[in-house]
Every structure is written in C-alpha cells, then in structure tokens.
Amino acid sequence: MTLDTRAKSPYVMAQAVREAYARGEEDEALEPLVLIDDEGMPIGRIQNGDYVIFYDIRGEREVELTRSFVDPDFHEFLTEEGLSANFATMIQYDEKLNVKVAFPPLAKIEHTLSQVVSEHGLKQVKITESEKAVHLGFFLSGKAGRSFPGEERIVISSPKATSYDQVPEMSIAQVTEAIVHNMRDPTYSLLLANFVNVDVLGHIENEEAIKAAAEAVDSHIGQVVEAAQEANITVVVTADHGTVEKWLYPDGAIDTGHTDSSVPFIIVTPQRVGLRRGGDLTDVAPTILELMGLPKPAAMTGRTLLTGAPPVTSDKRRVLLLIVDGWGFREERYGNLIAQAQTPVMDRLQREYAFTTLEASGRAVGMPEGTVGNSEAGHLHLGAGRRIYSDRLRIDQALNDGSFFENEAFLWAMRGAQSNGTRIHLLGIVSFYSSHGSVDHLLALLKLAKRERLSEVYVHSMLGRRGEHPESGARYIESVEEAVDKLGLGEVVSVIGRFWALDREENWDRIEKTYRWLVHGEGRAVREVT
C-alpha cells in the first residue's frame, strides 16, 4: 500500500493514526503506517549495520520478530540478503538470541512447584492450547525452557481465526478432552491445565462473545470437576489475574485490559477443608504441595491456604490445578461480564466447597503498587510460590537512580551507531502502561540518545488497545512526536498494531509483514511535513 496521506498538524504520524480510526481501524490491528519524504521514499528503514534497541519488557511475544533479524539460520520467510542489524533488548527474550541484554535475569528460579514434584519422582502433565502454552510451560516453571524429568506438555492448537470473537469457545473442548483423558492415567500425580478463553476474548470489544467465552469455560469446568471426582482427584480452581469482571471504566468506556481485582480460589474435594483469607498467588504452590503430601522447600515463602489438615483422598494424593485465565472476582455487577454471564458451575463451587479470594496484582505479583496483573506474572507466581520482582520494577529503579543512562547495552548500541556512522532505531510498544512496556522507557532512551549526541534516531511504534481508552494510540504517538520535537532529536517514522508485530504462535505471515514494514517501508505512506 502506498496511498499518501497529507496530515493536518505538525504531528503527522498521530494524525495518520486518527485517519486510520476514521477508516474503521483500531490500535490493536492497525495496518502499518510509514513516513515518506517528498520523493515518496520511506524514511528511517533498518539497514545493514544499524543498531536496534527493542525496548519491550515481557519477551515471549518479541522473540519471533527478533529472530528474523539476528538468527543466521532463520528460514521462516525470505529476509533481506546481506542485512545484519545489531540488536539490544531491554530484557532477555530468549537466551539463544544473539543480542545485548540491558537487564539480564538476576538468578535462576529454583524449587518451583513443577521442579519439586519432579524431584520427588512424580509425574505431571501440563495441558493448554497454543495461545497460552508459554505461560503454562515456561512461566509457571520459573522460566525454565525445558520440561523437568517426568513432565509432559500437551499443547492443543488454538483455532486459526481473524478474531477469536468468531470462535469464543476456541479449543476448550479439545483441552477438556485431553484433561479428562490424562486423569485416567494414574501415573500422573499432578495435572496442570489452563482455560484461556476469558482472558483472550476480554481484549476484544465484543460483549456477547466475552459472555459466551465465560459460559463455555464455566461449562467445561463442570465437566472437568465431574471427571476428577470420579477419578478421586482433588481439584484446585483459580486464575492468574482478572479481566472482564471490570470491563468498563467509571465513565462507561470499555476497558479491554487486565485488572487489579482478586481472583477466586476453590478446592474441590469430598472432605470439607478450611481456607484462610488474605492470601495471594504465591500461596497456591505451597497449598498444592501440602495437598499432595510433599514438603515445601525453604525457597517458597508463600504459605499454605489450608487452615487444617489436608484432605486424604487415597494413599496417593493426586491434584489438578485448573487455571481459568483472566477470571477475576468482583461482587459489583457494573461492568462485570462474569457476573452478567450464566456461570452456574462456578457459582455452585463457590457455595459448596472451600472458597476464598487471592490477590493477583501489584506488589502481590512483584509489580509496582497499584498496577494490574498479567498472565506472565500470574503464572510465574502460581508456580514459584514466592515473590519474584518484575523487570519493570528493576527498570523503574534504574530510571530513579540514574543507572538506566549508564546501562552497558544501551551505550553499546548508541556508541556503536555513532562510531560506525550508522543509525539507531528504537522499537517497541507505545503505551502508558502495558505489560510489554512503557512509553516512559522510550522517552528515556531518546534522552540518552540526545546526551550521546546521536544524529539519526528513528522510532518504530507498536500500538495496542489493552487496558487503554478507545483511540488512545494516537494520543501516545502525538506525545512521542511532541517529545522528539522538544528534544530536537529523533523522528517517529512508522506505526503498526501489535497484532502484526507481537506473536508467539508462529504466525509468520504477521511477522513477515512487520519485517517488511521495518526494512522495506511497506505500508500506508504518510508524507513528511517539511
């Protein structure tokens, strides 16, 4: 696409995003926009020898795009021959990537729930669909990339659809079938599963589809619990964070992001047990270990939620941890799509079995005070059984104490570009608060580039609606354009929806589109104002 758009204000890319809204586009799936000069040539494309700082902080959705630039064995699509870019990333996306990492992992997370079960010679199986495979397999295992001895991972493919609101049930039937099938195998002492629908659909503005997703999850919880009771398996039902129980802002605008709500915690077992109040996600792993009759390692600082002796269902205690992703708990009905949906199973389980709620946001999951939860932090704390302080907290501290501006990876990139006569590219999410990053980190990098006296700095921005008011992307882009205008350095040269750029299911057509946007300038052209 090369249709020129003459912007109506000095902030040309922000205006171009607003014009995209008028065409019916939205932030998440925004088609690529590219700044061009008076001769119609794309400005600020990534070229051989350039330096790129990918400043996103979450990582699992950033791996594929990074690989397309730095992996010499990359063959998923045709890349530019002879193009070699120098990459620095904010955190470690994957230890195999040939990049400089600004904030590398501090220490390996040992003695997680899965590791403890494995060390006692017991078998476990993890079952989910591909949309959340990384959370159950990687984050819940303490960011361990490989399975532990005795651990099996079963990943059901999520449906291929333009938008999941077309198939709100997703692949839950196949996931349930796999859970029930593996319950019948008595060699599995621990089963871990994730129903992904509520979180995934919660990021889409379709109220009826979200309710359908919640009702599908509720129905399949019932099927799983019934099968577990027949197999004499204790079921623990909980969630990693909230989403659609707080789907509206106070002004009535739709909030498609995560929330700061607590989450339900239910133990389904024939023997009634008592649960204490005031827990959080770090208490789940110690509770499961007690249910299984296994000792809690010293590294787990979380405490069991049981107030009495654990139920004894057999000589060999088997447990299913069922994570209903995004299912927050909130009694108020305003904007509460879970309360408005028909969920008789969860309603009954909360009445008839041991039930409490757990904190799943802010400091309870290693995030700054007052921030919402997310799937990464949620699963990490469910498995670790202790507080794991987030990369965001480390980065914020570095900004506060000034060490951010002396970071070796950032200086390597900027001074490398300066000494080699190449350019610097700042790539990442543009949002006030996203689990993938913050506009504050981008603005800090621009200030560092100014201090280092760089001359060519190009900003490539990704937009996403999650947790933001409608059409917030244009405001963020305008704020960045205003910042570079005041600095007298840098230029926002391209904008794209995160749907295309941040993938984790090998949708290589999306990543190729993003690659060609960055390298070849393919997208809707926006003419530079001179």
- The helix/strand/coil state of 81 is coil
The alpha-helical segments, DSSP class H, found in 267-388 are 284-292, 337-340, 344-352, 375-384
In order of 29, 40, 190, 289, 523, the CA distances from 4 in angstroms are 20, 9, 58, 61, 10
- The three-state secondary structure class of 72 is coil
Compute the distance between CA of residue 1 and CA of residue 11 in angstroms, rounded to an integer: 21
Inter-CA distances, 405 with 58, 99, 242, 400, 448, Å: 21, 19, 35, 10, 6
Q: Which residues of the chain, if any, have pLDDT below 70?
A: 1-10, 311-316, 432-435, 437, 465-469, 530
Any residues with CB less than 8 A from the CB of 260 and at least 6 apart, and which? 242, 361, 362, 370, 371, 372, 373
Cross-strand partners of 356? 265
- Per DSSP bridges, beta strands 188-195 and 123-129 are parallel
User: Are residues 108 and 154 in contact, defined by beta-carbon separation less than 8 angstroms?
Assistant: no
Cβ count within 10 A of residue 509: 11
Give the alpha-carbon dihedral of 449, 452, 453, 458, to 10 degrees: -20
Please, are residues 80 and 117 in contact by the beta-carbon 8 Å criterion? no
Task: Decide: 399 and 444 in contact? Cβ < 8 Å.
Answer: yes
Across 31-150, the runs of DSSP E, i.e. the strands, are 33-36, 51-54, 86-91, 100-103, 123-129
Relative to beta strand 354-359, strand 279-280 is: parallel
Strands (E), 203-326: 234-238, 263-268, 279-280, 319-324
**What's the pLDDT at 467?**
59
Q: Which domains does the chain have, with CATH numbers?
A: 12-104+393-527 (3.40.1450.10), 113-387 (3.40.720.10)
CA dist 85 and 343 (Å) reads: 51
Tell me the pTM: 0.76
Three-state SS at 346? helix
Q: What is the pLDDT of residue 129?
A: 95
Residue 196 tokens read as: 């992904």
pLDDT of residue 5: 40
168: helix, strand or coil: coil
Query: How many whole angstroms separate alpha carbon 429 and alpha carbon 56?
Result: 6
Q: Which helix (H) or strand (E) covers residue 451, if one does?
A: helix 439-451
